[in-house]
């Protein structure tokens, strides 16, 4: 392949042209409408395969804090509240146990591709040291349980329960919480930790109802049918024709396992992922520095610094994420240049070198040139979520694995009772597995899926639809006292999402503790919200054009580019966490005093 470091500028122009064509080939006019939610008649795709909802009487009581969601966000909020001696913390969770993403996703091959020593939270606090650089899903799920046990979150938790409404009760100065199990209770504070990618989605394929074989979503793996477990051994598939739709981060982890066991595996790909080296291995406590207090905190700060594009003296994690941070450093100035909308030259070359490395990897590892050609990604790095695997490309060298490229037909065209149709071919299948991802923000309070009525009955979803989201730091809003949202809008994210959630949990717990001390409500003034909007707008990077040139996916609202308004803190998660620390030290008291509290 051309070495772009030494080749003439026309090579870059040619690459740009190729990327544009690949994008145009994939953009669909129906954008997000091409997907179906896994509810109503498709509800079985989202049903809990791991637990039956236990019978219980509805609750009518009062708690200090209701935490909505028992994934890492909820577990961390619970733990950080306990550290502040908050007594009655009730976590309400749809699943049958704590774990969130790691409760639901148990597909074969499941691992976290963020280093376990920075991904698993509260390692310093629990004394746990992971043994693998990239932990299997079950170990991560158990860690969520470990934290919940250590901080005594089981006592008040409600599982297999969904919150159906939140209404501010002015007289009680508390939130009235209702659930789908008939509970109606009061909570002085509510923390929402409903996740961002939690509701499974399906492609709206004509005939999807007609298929008579077995079918399920990767986040609800049907081991009763496939046999085996997360490590593989899917013996139930040995005489089956199996299809996997989707080759995102999940598909890349899943495919090698049924490839080992299925009679025949068809992988239906629309856009290939970038699949880089993972090099998972056992680690020792000594080599990760787990020999002194605070080691885990230090390591995850170092990781966050690097992946946020901040300078760091050393790279403790040293993996594919930190290696690609150099690209980000070269990219960021293009988003901040006055009248920009073009790349700095050194970024484009560095990106092309990286992408060529990945395309070379495909060529090296995949024996059949036709298959290798289909597996090569033609877009800029990080247009789609980068993935890592040491077994994915190799799976296509097996005689029982066929890659079916569906880019020209914009995905699977049709399903019949026997299988899947792409172009002129019907692929007959016994089982079709959807690795088709999740609705973005589908379960959050901003989406309206959970009705929230604040002061004077104002519905949060309506207020935000009219005026756009208004918050202080993304967590709290005027008119919705004592309601704290973790993650998502108007703060700062990162690939190491558990770290972000932990910082948010620390902040939420500090707010609750200080409000209790002051006898105050947690509620920003409109002026505080205006100031936060202004902080986000000032220096807001212009990166819509980058996403608009990318192939479609959930990163760019299926090809439409992302809204370029002030929807995030512009200087990244590392700087945002420092800002929160300063605010807690210098301004939190004043903030709470301004709302001390008689109802208005």
Q: Which residues bind ligand NDP (CB under 6 A)?
A: 112-114, 197, 203, 205, 245-251, 253, 268, 270-271, 385, 406, 411-412, 435-438, 552-554
CB closer to ligand NDP, 547 vs 595? 547
In the bound complex, what is the minimum distance in angstroms from residue 89's beta carbon to ligand NDP? 27
In the bound complex, what is the minimum distance in angstroms from residue 318's beta carbon to ligand NDP? 18
**At 526, which helix (H) or strand (E)?**
helix 526-537
E strands in 366-494:
387-388, 401-405, 414-415, 419-422, 425-428, 431-434, 438-439, 452-453, 483-485
CB closer to ligand NDP, 552 vs 566? 552
CB closer to ligand NDP, 115 vs 183? 115
- 308: tokens are 């946020």
In the bound complex, what is the minimum distance in angstroms from residue 248's beta carbon to ligand NDP? 2
Asked whether the beta carbons of 141 and 96 are under 8 A apart, the reply is: no
In the bound complex, what is the minimum distance in angstroms from residue 374's beta carbon to ligand NDP? 13
d(CA 376, CA 361): 9
CB closer to ligand NDP, 130 vs 566? 130
Indicate left, alpha or beta for 297 from its phi (over 0: left) and psi (-120 to 50: alpha): alpha
In the bound complex, what is the minimum distance in angstroms from residue 253's beta carbon to ligand NDP? 6
In the block, which residue shows the tokens 């909020």? 77
Q: Where are the alpha helices (DSSP H) in 376-496?
A: 392-395, 460-467
In the bound complex, what is the minimum distance in angstroms from residue 411's beta carbon to ligand NDP? 3
**CA triplet 170, 174, 176: central angle to 5 degrees?**
95
Asked whether the beta carbons of 45 and 470 are under 8 A apart, the reply is: no
Asked whether the beta carbons of 207 and 85 are under 8 A apart, the reply is: no
Sign, Cα dihedral of 572, 575, 581, 583: negative
Asked whether the beta carbons of 479 and 462 are under 8 A apart, the reply is: no
d(CA 313, CA 571): 20
In the bound complex, what is the minimum distance in angstroms from residue 46's beta carbon to ligand NDP? 14
CB closer to ligand NDP, 205 vs 528? 205
CB closer to ligand NDP, 192 vs 250? 250
**Dihedral pair phi/psi, residue 589, rounded to 5°:** -60, -45
In the bound complex, what is the minimum distance in angstroms from residue 122's beta carbon to ligand NDP? 18
CB closer to ligand NDP, 194 vs 476? 194
In the bound complex, what is the minimum distance in angstroms from residue 555's beta carbon to ligand NDP? 8
CB closer to ligand NDP, 63 vs 306? 306
CB closer to ligand NDP, 271 vs 490? 271
Residue 410's alpha-carbon distances to 201, 407, 422, 475, in angstroms, are 17, 5, 10, 38
d(CA 346, CA 246): 33
């Amino acid at each position: 392949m051309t070495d772009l470091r030494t080749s003439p500028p026309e090579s870059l122009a040619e690459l740009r042209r190729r990327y544009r064509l690949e994008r145009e080939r994939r953009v669909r006019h129906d954008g997000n409408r091409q997907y179906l939610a896994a509810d109503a008649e498709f509800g079985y795709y989202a049903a809990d395969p791991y637990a039956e909802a236990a019978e219980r009487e509805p609750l009518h009581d009062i708690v200090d804090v209701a935490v909505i969601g028992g994934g890492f966000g909820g577990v961390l909020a619970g733990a950080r509240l306990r550290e502040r001696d908050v007594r009655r913390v009730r976590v309400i969770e749809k699943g049958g146990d704590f774990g969130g993403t790691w409760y639901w996703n148990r597909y074969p091959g499941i691992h976290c591709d963020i280093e376990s020593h920075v991904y698993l939270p509260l390692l310093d606090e629990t004394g746990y040291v992971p043994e693998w650089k990239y932990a299997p899903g079950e170990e991560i799920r158990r860690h969520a349980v470990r934290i919940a046990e250590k901080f005594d979150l089981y006592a008040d938790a409600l599982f297999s329960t969904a919150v159906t409404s939140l209404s501010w009760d002015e007289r009680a100065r508390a939130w009235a919480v209702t659930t789908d199990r008939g509970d109606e209770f009061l909570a002085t504070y509510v923390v929402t930790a409903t996740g961002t990618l939690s509701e499974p989605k399906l492609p709206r394929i004509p005939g999807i109802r007609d298929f008579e074989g077995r079918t399920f979503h990767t986040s609800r793996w049907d081991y009763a049918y496939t046999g085996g477990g997360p490590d593989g051994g899917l013996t139930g598939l040995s005489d089956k024709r199996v299809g996997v739709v989707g080759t995102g981060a999940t598909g890349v982890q899943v495919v090698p396992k049924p490839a080992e066991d299925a009679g025949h595996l068809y992988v239906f790909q629309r856009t290939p992922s970038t699949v880089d080296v993972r090099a998972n291995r056992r680690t020792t406590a000594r080599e990760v520095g787990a020999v002194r207090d605070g080691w885990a905190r230090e390591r995850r700060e170092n990781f966050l610094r690097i992946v946020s594009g901040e300078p760091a003296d050393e790279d403790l994690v040293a993996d594919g994420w930190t290696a690609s941070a150099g690209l980000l450093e070269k990219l960021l100035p293009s988003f901040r240049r006055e009248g920009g909308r073009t790349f700095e030259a050194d970024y484009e070359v560095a990106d092309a070198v990286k992408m060529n490395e990945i395309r070379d990897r495909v060529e090296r590892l995949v024996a059949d040139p036709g298959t290798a050609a289909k597996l090569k990604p033609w877009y800029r790095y990080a247009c789609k979520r980068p993935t890592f695997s040491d077994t994915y490309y190799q799976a296509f060298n097996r005689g029982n694995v066929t890659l079916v490229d569906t880019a020209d037909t914009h995905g699977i065209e049709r399903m019949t009772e026997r299988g899947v149709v792409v172009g002129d071919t019907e692929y007959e299948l016994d089982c079709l597995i959807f690795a088709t991802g999740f609705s973005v923000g589908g379960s959050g309070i901003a989406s309206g899926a959970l009705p929230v009525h604040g002061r004077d009955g104002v519905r949060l979803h309506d207020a935000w639809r009219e005026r756009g989201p208004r918050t202080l730091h993304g967590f709290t809003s005027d008119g919705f006292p004592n309601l704290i949202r973790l993650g998502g809008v108007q703060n700062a994210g990162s690939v190491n999402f558990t770290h972000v959630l932990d910082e948010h949990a620390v902040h939420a717990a500090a707010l609750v503790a200080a409000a209790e001390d002051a006898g105050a409500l947690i509620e920003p003034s409109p002026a505080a919200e205006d100031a936060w909007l202004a902080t986000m707008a000032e220096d807001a990077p212009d990166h819509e054009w980058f996403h608009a040139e990318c192939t479609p996916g959930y990163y760019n609202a299926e090809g439409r580019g992302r809204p370029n308004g002030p929807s995030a803190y512009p200087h990244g998660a590392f700087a945002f966490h420092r800002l929160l620390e300063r605010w807690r030290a210098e301004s939190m008291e004043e903030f709470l005093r301004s709302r001390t509290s008689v109802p208005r």
